[in-house]
Chains A and B, each alone.
Chain A
Amino acid sequence: MIFIHTRKEPILPRLVWIFNPSQVGTRPTAGFPYSAISMKNKMKIKPFKIAGLCLVMISLINACAETKPVIAHKPKARMGHAHHQARGVISLDVYQDGERTHVLIGKQQHGKKTLWHQFSENGGISWSEPVKILGQDDLSITMGRGRDAQITAKGEDIFVAWTQYTDQNRFHTGPMQAALSHDGGQSWQITSAPPDWAPGPHGFIDLAADRHGFRAVWLDSRDQGQQGLRYSRSNDDGRHWSVNRTLDKKSCSCCWNTMKTDSEGNSYIVYRDKNPSDMSIGVMDAHENWRYLGHVGDFGWQFDGCPHIGAGLDFENRQSGLRMHALVGTGMPDKAGIYYLYSDSRGQSWSPAKRLGDESATHGDIAASDAGRVVAVWDMMSKKGLAIFMAESLDSGKTWSAAQQLSTPGQRASHPRIVHSANGFLAFWTEHQHHHSKLMMRRL
């Protein structure tokens, strides 16, 4: 892994680093992807004469036929997914476990998908060598930004999960699959996945860890086709998973979930609800009692559709108690955008929603330090398409700085993530140019 120091910002005098994706090995394409069609020509007589006759006949028939064009207008742009498949980093998850920052990177090259793990113990200054999950050069996986493969960790135990690719379902989403490492990510083995409803599909997974084990949430439609929020727990570091629980029978079908566990072992889960389609929060406590807490931001957005927008959540341990910081998105007409809220009542009530960015702000994340610094990152439209922006608060969310662009001007960037690491805040996102995506990181 090579980091390139690219520039210093006068306003934020911190370093900008770029992950160099070329460091991550890929296999060359395995030959021409199309088979030649073999035509058996059984005609043995005068092939040139016949061919010429055929051409004349077809031309005559076509000329006499009709005036409406028969052949589809060929677009200038080449149509078809195969020609426009994204290359490079197409999935990203970040997890902070004590001093360690773990990243799980999903890559696609020549149609082959791989997952890679790395960690840093000094806030992103240096990183471990990338390790390919399961050593697989072509994982059968459905992933993309907003539906990224997920990672959680507890010391040397690391658990990753993803949605399997399948041709059987409309969205190519299959059952969840998982892999486990007990040596800090040096070696990986396949392990049982949290869902006990085998067929799936399972999607929009999030994972968290506490001192007892791992927890997983995801969406599936096991209840008469209705997409709902499911939960499971592993007390043996990801080897086995508990009987699944349905936390909400009816949730949004296409927004990512966020789960964060506090120091007391309470896992707070933020997910997009239905009727209205605002973000909801609930808590699974250390004794496995689930309690729905309410909405994070009461926008009253009634929307029967696919927003593809989740939330960010983090904690700040203050002298007066826990403060929760959330960043949620809504598409409510006249209110569309990204909003910041905090709660001093462990999610039961929330501050008024404060808008960060403009109406085009879509995907966001948030992180907080116990010193009262809170940093929000999100993507929104710039002059050249989506770009990454940030704002920060130095007083536990009371006041906020103006929005400031983080991503490279002129490059399309989306889906930022942020963690409070051992050495300050680390923001990650993906930038795209000419169908190639690369992972970007910046210490804030």
Chain B
Amino acid sequence: MAKFLAGLLLFSALQMGLAQADGIVVKPFVADSLSKIKENHKGQPFVLIFWSETCAYCMKELALFGKLQKQFPDIPIVTVSTDAFLDDKTVNDILAEKGLELDTAWVFAEEYPEQLYAAVDKRWRGELPVTYFYGRQHQPIRHLGIIKEAALVDWMRLQTKP
């Protein structure tokens, strides 16, 4: 019985460990999610990336952010997949493959994505990738298309200056 209990304890501990390492928490991105994201990062610079699993440029950009995240760990990166209801595993797999270490990620959770495009930016018609750079004052800089590494590094360096 003692052996069995010890085994059970070990099993439970392992289960908890696995659950903790289960990966990124995937949240539904709806019309008011952007304001929640901004609220979560109040007074702090962050990068907001919109991507899709069918966008080759997005994959390159995510990999670039995966690389730079290690260089600038203090600048939060927020990712939003525009593939409506993309499953958690795919989100986890793609972001892990691109080297991004995140606690949470967002996925479009409306049947018709254009309603969320419009909620984010009235001018946005779904072109990808789209990246928003929020400085400390949260004045966003919008970049449509893949971003150049040098420009990204410059912006991140600027944010880390005291």
Contacts and interface: CB of A to CB of B under 8 A. Distances in A.
A50 to B, nearest CB: 8
A362 B126 contact: yes
A303 B56 contact: no
B49 interface: no
A389 to B, nearest CB: 14
Interface in A318-339: 331, 333, 336
B125 interface: yes
A125 B114 CA distance: 33
A412 B113 CA distance: 11
B111 A306 contact: no
B139 to A, nearest CB: 17
A306 to B, nearest CB: 5
A73 B25 contact: yes
A211 interface: no
Nearest to A85: B85
In this complex, the interface size class of chain A, counting residues with CB under 8 Å from chain B, is 35 or more
Interface in B86-118: 86-88, 107, 109, 111-112, 114-115, 118
B16 interface: yes
Contacts of A170: 53, 59
Interface string A358-369: 011010000000
A84 B85 contact: yes
A386 B8 CA distance: 55
B22 interface: yes
A25 interface: no
A107 to B, nearest CB: 18
A171 B54 contact: yes
A303 B16 contact: no
B152 interface: no
A70 interface: yes
A54 B112 contact: no
A386 B127 CA distance: 15
Contacts of B59: 170
Contacts of A73: 25, 27
Given A72-B88, A306-B56, A432-B112, A57 B127 contact: no
B112 A79 contact: no
A82 B114 CA distance: 21
A190 interface: no
Contact of B129 (A53, A58, A254, A305): A305
Query: Which of B5, B26, B126, B145 has most chain A Cβ within 10 Å?
Result: B145
A204 to B, nearest CB: 12
A304 B118 contact: no
Contact size range, B: 35 or more
A58 B12 contact: yes
Interface string A40-84: 000000000010011001100110010000111101111111111
Contact of A84 (B58, B84, B128): B84
Given A303-B144, A362-B125, A77 B109 contact: yes
Of the candidates B57, B83, B85, B112, the one having the most CB atoms from chain A within 10 angstroms of its own CB is: B85
A432 B54 contact: no
B153 interface: no
Given A79-B85, A254-B54, A435-B111, A57 B125 contact: no
Which of B20, B53, B114: most chain A Cβ within 10 A?
B114
A70 B19 contact: yes
Nearest to A359: B123
Nearest to B25: A72
Contact of A305 (B86, B122, B128): B128
B31 to A, nearest CB: 12
A377 to B, nearest CB: 17
B44 interface: no
Given A72-B26, A305-B146, A79 B87 contact: yes
B88 A306 contact: no
A336 B123 contact: yes
B127 A305 contact: yes
Nearest to A43: B4
Interface of A: 50, 53-54, 57-58, 61-62, 65, 70-73, 75-84, 170-171, 253-254, 302-309, 331, 333, 336, 359-360, 362, 381, 385-386, 412, 432, 435
Given A306-B57, A385-B115, A432-B111, 15 more contacts: A53-B8, A75-B27, A75-B109, A84-B85, A170-B53, A303-B144, A303-B145, A304-B57, A305-B57, A306-B129, A308-B126, A331-B127, A360-B123, A360-B125, A435-B111
26 contacts: A53-B5, A61-B13, A62-B16, A70-B22, A72-B88, A75-B28, A76-B28, A79-B87, A80-B87, A81-B87, A84-B84, A170-B53, A170-B59, A171-B54, A303-B127, A305-B57, A305-B58, A306-B55, A306-B56, A306-B57, A360-B114, A360-B123, A385-B114, A386-B112, A432-B111, A432-B112
